[in-house]
Structure 1
Amino acid sequence: MVAPPELPRRVRVGAGLTLLSGVVGLGVSAWLVRLKFGADYLCDASGCTGGDDGPSCAEALSSAWSELLGLPLGVWSIGHVLTTMMLAAALLRGRGPLAEVAPRGLLGLGAFGITVSAVLGTYAFTQFTHMCPFCMALYATLTLAFVGAWLIHGPSDQSAGGQRIRGTFWAAMIWVLTTGGLAVGYQIAARRASCPPPPPNPPPVTLAATVDAPRSAVMLFVDPTCPLCRRELHYLQQSLPRLHAHGAELWVYMFPRASCDERFLPSHEFVDTEGRPQAHGEARGNNACLGALAALCAEQLAPGRGLEALAALFDLQDTEAPRFTIEKVERALGEVTETLGPGGKLRTCVDGEAAAATLAAQQRYLLSWVKARGGRVSVPQAFVVPIVDETLHLDDAMPTTSAGKILKLIETPGSK
């Protein structure tokens, strides 16, 4: 058997760089699939690093761009990266049909990977408040894979056409089998997954868009200082005709990520199962508790205007910090209805025990979900709950973090 020719040093370096970046890319892609699966099907938002105001994966995982054909981008990424690694390994080995097509195949896959990374990275940078560190790591590995492919590429060889056809076929089969197998496994796991049982007796509904003879309820928890909450609620409010057409009610609960009143929810209870505080620096610094209390009081003082008032309060996110002060709140709500303008009623309600107790009950309810699953609080958090014979079937609650997924669950009963 004739030994394969010695590869140029540039080619060996490029193939090695592609393999190394592929190993890292596989790990990052697998972790992103785990994060997406946990957020969508297990009510688990844990696993993404970042401090109070640092990187976060919540926006990336709930974005419509996080899926393609119902599968997380991480699934597609694993197929792409594994195919790239197999081509690079075949090139280093120096024989076989895959080695014949490796230079051109790696360059094509590398160009595709860096293009997708540029598109998704630009979208994330322009649309998200916080960048996802794992997404950025994946973009970096795909960029390195392209650099490796560029080092490998050279003039086209004169290998037999049959070898090239077989090599292309096997490369395509690697991608199809990897991606297809992962897709089937993901869908099977999604159908079998379930959240921990929810606590009984949800808090009284304060902010709601109701329908006659409801068939389901969307329980949505939001923080007034959360930009993603603002965007998702806005989309849901615009989609109310679609919700109502399928017999779905929208119930909005307030969950400021801060301990608001020690009398009703002491700070030492505002923790997860491991005792980690569930507070958020942005929520504390911008008086999220005041914004939440104002939303609850708006509905109390002007029944039926609560969701409209909450939308006006969310607009205070565009103001200077702190986002919520009593003066700002009074001005914002005064534009909704004169009943809520300056005059003492709103301040009296915000400072009263009734509103504080209601807010604490809503916070405690979501905290109980968090403690049951052993994760951390992430907002927005929603649960689509069936209603049968006017009874809320909490055991069949389906979790989600995005308005798009809510509409999918509403319009396709039983889907996940």
Structure 2
Amino acid sequence: MTEPTIATPSELAPRVRAGAWLTLASGLAGLFVSAWLVRLKFGADHLCDASGCPGGDDGPACAEALASGWSQVLGLPLAIWSIGHVFTTMWLAVAVLRRRGPLAEVAARGLLGLGVFGFAVSLALGVHAFTSFAHMCPLCVGLYATYTVALVGALLVRGAAPTCPEGHAKVGAVRAALVWALTTGGLALAYQLAARSVTCPPPPPDPPPVTLAATVDDPRLAVMLFVDPTCPLCRRELHFLQQSLPRLRAHGAELWVYMFPRAVCDERYLPSHEFVDGDGKPQTHGDARSNNACLAALAALCVERLAPGRGLDGLAALFDLQDTEAPRFTTDKVERALGDVADVLGPGGRLRTCIDGEDAAATLAAQQRYLLAWVKARGGRVGVPQAFVVPIEAGELRLGEAMPATSAGKILKLVEAPAAE
């Protein structure tokens, strides 16, 4: 039986050749971006590295995308499914250029179907990111662009199908499906095996004193959450966790919130030369510096000190100041916002005295230093929100068994997992 052919090389339309090569080029770019996103997601979920992709002075621009529930499907990073999709389109593009074999019979139609599907998914994800995130992830935007180019290539290739013996189209479809299944399945298996074989670097001992907490009787787990008052994702995740406190308490989990403004707050307690990662690079953030994140963090600590039991409510009120004009946090704005939480926190001098006091500054520096030590141990950069679910046995934290999480959804999964029972 002879193999079907599209045409001789001289008869292959320039439009078809251009479309196939365009699909291949976009596929190579898509493979690179998808692989990098898998790496970032793996680090965030399994290596205690929530640094995300760097965004210059504005900090990690992909942290929200990596922490989103939309970043994975069936427990696997969305980027793994993307690699399977992109690799299959590249394989079909090669079949178009080769112009023979059963795969060539379905290549044009397969490229068009995959192109439309990829573009539709990219459009949905892009709209969600634009309407939900404070920053668009540049890697994600790049991936959306590659899918758009792949659709253009598929439209150019449209109609380039050979005349082949009956049954070859079915064989070609099966081969295309097999390429996708082997690629995606192999990557999924490798990812799961890698996830089981790695552990976070052990955290430093002696965590700082808990200032903001939602406690339970006889706790079995502690959720240690580090947030920056200028971080929009921190605001969203803390709000979700506060709404989920009944679920946490039902599983014996306490919520401990630590402040980590990404700025040097007091040189006396944490000098700027220590506010660096393992490579000596500063861990500061442009928004944190320009919007007085240190002031907000100190105010959050003082809420609990001056109005015991209202610390988390005070932090939520401070997060709401993210909706105000820059600078987000000023003394007057903070006092007005916290005055609605408790009368004692409004104008009158007590809050200002606490913020300017040495105790609050020392407490904040201790909390910042703790996460910095964790970051230096893993060799990454600071990313917030960052959380660790830590077992408690006989009243003692089992820090060596700490499980990292970068989103409220992941925290709840760890808390409610059978292994946590």
**TM over 0.5, yes or no?**
yes
TM-score (norm 1): 0.97
* Mapped partners of 1:414, 1:23: distance in 2: 40
For the residues of structure 1 that align with 2:56 and 2:346, how far apart are their CA atoms?
Answer: 37
Aligned CA RMSD, in angstroms, stands at 1.4
Cα distance, 1:55 vs structure 2: 6.8
Query: What is the TM-score normalised by the length of structure 2?
Result: 0.96
Q: Which residue of 2 aligns with 1:269?
A: 274
Q: Which amino acid aligns with 1:13?
A: A
Q: Distance in 1 between matches of 2:60 and 2:365?
A: 28
| Structure 1 residues 327-358: Cα deviation after superposition (integer angstroms, max 9, x where no partner) | 11111111001011111110110000000000
Partner of 1:373: 378
Cα distance in 2, alignment partners of residues 160 and 45 from structure 1: 54
Structure 1: unaligned runs, 5 residues or longer? none
Residue number in structure 1 paired with 2:72: 67
Cα distance, 1:133 vs structure 2: 1.0
Q: CA deviation at 1:414?
A: 3.8
Q: Are residues 1:5 and 2:8 paired? A: yes
Letter of the aligned partner of 2:272 in structure 1?
A: S
Q: Does 1:327 align with 2:329?
A: no
1:311-335 residue CA offsets vs partner (Å, 9 max, x unmatched): 0010011111111111111111110
Please state how far the C-alpha of 1:148 moved relative to its aligned partner: 0.5
Distance 1:228 1:46 in 2: 13
The 5 A counterparts of 1:11-410 are 11-46=16-51, 48-53=53-58, 56-154=61-159, 158-410=163-415
Q: Partners in 2 of 1:71 and 1:314 — Cα distance?
A: 31
> In the aligned structure 2, how far is the partner of 1:41 from the partner of 1:303?
35
Q: Residues 221 and 382 of structure 1 are in contact (CA less than 8 Å); yes or no, is this contact kept in structure 2?
A: yes
Deviations 1:199-229 (A, max 9, x none): 0000010000000111100000000010000
Q: From the superposition, tell whether residues 308 and 46 of structure 1 become closer, same or farther in structure 2 (CA, over 3 Å).
A: closer
Gaps of 5+ in 2: none
Kept in 2, the 8 Å contact 1:228–1:380? The answer is yes
Instruction: Tell me the number of residue pairs that the alignment of Structure 1 and Structure 2 aligns.
Output: 415
Secondary structure in 2 aligned to 1:52?
Answer: helix
Aligned structure 1 segments of 4 or more residues deviating by more than 4 angstroms: 1-4, 155-158
Moved more, 54-63 or 369-378: 54-63
Q: Which amino acid aligns with 2:241?
A: L
Displacement after TM superposition at 1:413 (Å): 4.2
Q: Which amino acid aligns with 2:277?
A: D
| Structure 1 residue 191, shift from structure 2 partner | 1.5
Task: Give me the identity figure in percent.
Answer: 73
**2:50/2:406 contact within 8 Å kept:** no
Q: Secondary structure at the match of 1:243?
A: helix
User: Offset of 1:47 from its aligned partner?
Assistant: 5.8
